[in-house]
Amino acid sequence: MLPADDLQQRWWNLEAKLVERFGKKPDMEAILFLIGIQEFGEIREKFTKEQKQDLMHVAVCNLLSQSGYYELESVDADGWPHFRQLKPMPDMSMPEQENFLKDHILLYFEQHNF
């Protein structure tokens, strides 16, 4: 089996678990939003469009901190985490970027025993 095949199978398994948990298949943005809420630590009735984008940014930075690309720098008075980039991202095609992010998402969920 090729590593990409294994990644795809693990991704489908995660999607199946998320469908079981939430009742519908989430896209990448929805998964990033969920991770962002988890890392922000506060569930609200509504988030503004800008806050939703910020939550996805928090998720990406947190995910990529697993590989040393970012580190948590501070948390502001409103509870929002702020990250500092430690090294540049490697040049990748769009499919490579998606797989890179998927791999980090899978690692995140494994580390959180989901």
DSSP category for residue 77: T
The model carries a pTM of: 0.88
Whether 57 maps to a domain, the answer reads yes
Q: Is residue 47 part of a domain?
A: yes
- 43 occurs within a structural domain: yes
Structure confidence at residue 2 (pLDDT): 53
Check residue 4 and give its pLDDT. Answer: 64
Please check whether residue 32 lies inside any domain of the structure.
yes
Structure tokens at 83: 């990250």
Average pLDDT estimate for 30-41: 94
| Domain-embedded: residue 6 | no
DSSP 23: S
Question: Within a domain: residue 97?
Answer: yes
- For the chain, how many structural domains are there in total? 1
Q: What is the pLDDT of residues 53-108, one digit of tens each?
A: 999 999 999 999 999 999 999 999 999 999 999 999 999 999 999 999 999 999 99
- Rounded to the nearest integer, the mean pLDDT of the chain is 93
Residue 1 has pLDDT above 80, yes or no: no
CA distance 88 to 19: 34
The answer to whether residue 2 sits within a structural domain is no
Residue 80: which domain range? Answer: 12-111
Q: What confidence tier does 42 reach under pLDDT thresholds 50, 70, 90?
A: confident
- Asked if residue 3 belongs to a domain, the reply is no
